[in-house]
Chain A
Amino acid sequence: MFKWIHLFGSSPFVYRAASWLAPVFGFGAAVCILVGLYLGLVVAPADYEQGDSYRIIFVHVPSAWMSMFVYMVMATSSAVFLIWRMKLADIVAWASAPIGASFTLIALVSGAFWGKPMWGTYWIWDARLTSELLLLFIYLGYMALRSSIEQPQTAARAAAILAVVGVVNIPIIHFSVEWWNTLHQPATISKLDKPSMHISMLRPLLLMVAGFQLLYFHQLMVRVKTGILQREGRTAWVAELVANNRV
């Protein structure tokens, strides 16, 4: 039943699949983000309380959401790598770390730019902001740990353990605005409630979330290809790709 899973152990297959998928995801991301930005910045009305300043939400929320989503991918694939020693899972975790760190940084910086005009401060050490900053440090720590150990197998295992342990921070970020009192407001969109946002603003926000999601998948495919080439540079199938100018 799970015979197909062995296909993902085959580097040439994954490489070909990633080469095919990267532009598809990239195109989808460009369409979603361009349409989302137009609907969000031009078509959507101003907010009753925050005026035009609320439009930072169209970058802030998607990147904050992706900072957590990418981490979940990284932690899951790290666990798969630890248990089944699957090479591809390690490559996915390795490839995701800098992408996730970038989304986290964008969420923190765009949040600061939003905080100054609305709250009156760029930064406050409340539970939401602090736990999101911790997430950035976990990403950076993961990358630092990987590159500080020379033996690739040891580096991969040590980093995978860090990624699995760090997943504890994800529910803390998500529930921080409910467990403790914070300056940050509670979630606008949650699964159980209907969203606290007018449809004219919600539509571009969801488009931007989809766009950022596709952007991550695009980046992931590109980096997975790089990761495979780094590990398999000396194999016959890569030599054949190079000979045919198809890398």
Chain B
Amino acid sequence: MSTAELVNHRPGRKLALSAVAIVASVVVFLVPFAFIVLTAVKDRQQSALLDFSWPHQFRFVQNFIEVVEARDYMLVIAFINSTILTVASVTGMVVLAAMAGFVLQRRKSRWNPFINFLVLAGLIIPPAVVPTIWVLQQFGLFRTMPGLILIEIAYGLSFCILLFRAFVSTIPRELDEAAIIDGAGPLRLFFGVIFPLLRSVVVTVVVVQSVAVFNDFVNPLYFLPGDKNATVQLTLYNFSSQYSTQYNLLFMNILLITIPPLIMFLFFNRQIVAGMTSGAVKG
């Protein structure tokens, strides 16, 4: 039972409302996804009609193989690139942001307002693209995977620090004190005592940021151009111009890159919701 249930309390109306909601959700939200799936299994001629119809023949396997093999297995390379990018940058974000968030919450100093300001600035300010490329070039990191990984970390840190800082405040300080009395140094205290306690928020951060990095289109476009380096979002883009008439393959590609987020959603729905609504209640 929840609050707003009192907004409608007549059973007949409730059923009618449910029916309307379900029909509307099918039309508005499910039809586009059904369209993706149907078009992905059509043959080339039928998919070019762009209509919402049952496929004359199911070419799931053929289309799948064609998409994977296209342009020298570009999609496979892209999936490998995206996996490296996602795993490396999310790992970096989690470790660095947990350390920073921990100290930021525990240590009260006159620098804290300034640090908090920087964290919020990272959420609000749009990154300056060309100057970032310029900086990356100075280090020889432009057009390299490590460069893009560092960029994703830099842009994702703010959000992660906010989550970690909020969560650390729920861990009692007595725990730190006990560890310190037992002779733990700063590193031991953090990695041995605190970090294991952060597990639930780590899962949240990992899930939310993995989806964000995996779906990122803009940063790879700017900082890692070139077909060899393509991430999955960019293959979609290349495919859409190459296959401007091969809609079945384009939609098969869309279908394939939708699967990883779908798996995340099925298994970690709760953590995603927790991460994305943090801050909603407290403001």
Q: Are A and B physically bound partners?
A: no
